[in-house]
Amino acid sequence: MNKEQQELLDKAYRKYGDSHQYFVNGWLHVIPMLHSNETFINECKTDTEFSEKWGLKIEERELSLEERHDIKEQYGFDCRKLAKPSIKQLDDANIPTRLITITYNDKTIESYE
């Protein structure tokens, strides 16, 4: 996950945390939160209703072989050697295998791992 994505996750979690605080007659009241940062993120990944409530959408998926071929040049793979490298060659060259997409407040950031 890149820095920009982590910032979006942090903003969403702060919003979640802020929802557990309120003032009454000048006193701050805090309701215990059910989720740590880690469980909040996991819940957003697995529970669509929870994710929509907090405005945070996290999608992770495996890249197809064709998608890995399409991005190989971005990762310094020498395309003069092989036009269609094998899975092993892509793995050996550390070409990413997963796409992570995070959306929060209408801002979407994608990264590869």
- pLDDT per residue over 6-41, tens digit each? 999 999 999 998 887 777 777 777 777 789 999 999
pLDDT at 70: 83
pLDDT at 81: 63
Helix (H/G/I), strand (E/B), else coil: 23:
strand
Residue carrying structure tokens 């003032």: 23
The number of folded domains in the chain is 1
pLDDT at 79: 63
pTM of the model: 0.78
- Taking residues 55-76, what's their average pLDDT? 88
As a whole number, the mean pLDDT across the chain is 87
Give the other-Cβ count within 10 Å of 95's Cβ: 22
Q: Report the C-alpha gap between 107 and 105 in whole angstroms.
A: 5
Q: Which domain holds residue 20?
A: 3-112
- Decide: 17 and 109 in contact? Cβ < 8 Å: no
pLDDT at 58: 96
Q: Report the C-alpha gap between 34 and 31 in whole angstroms.
A: 9
44 class by beta-carbon count within 10 Å (0-12 exposed, 13-18 middle, 19+ buried)? buried
52-65 confidence digits (pLDDT tens) = 999 999 999 999 99
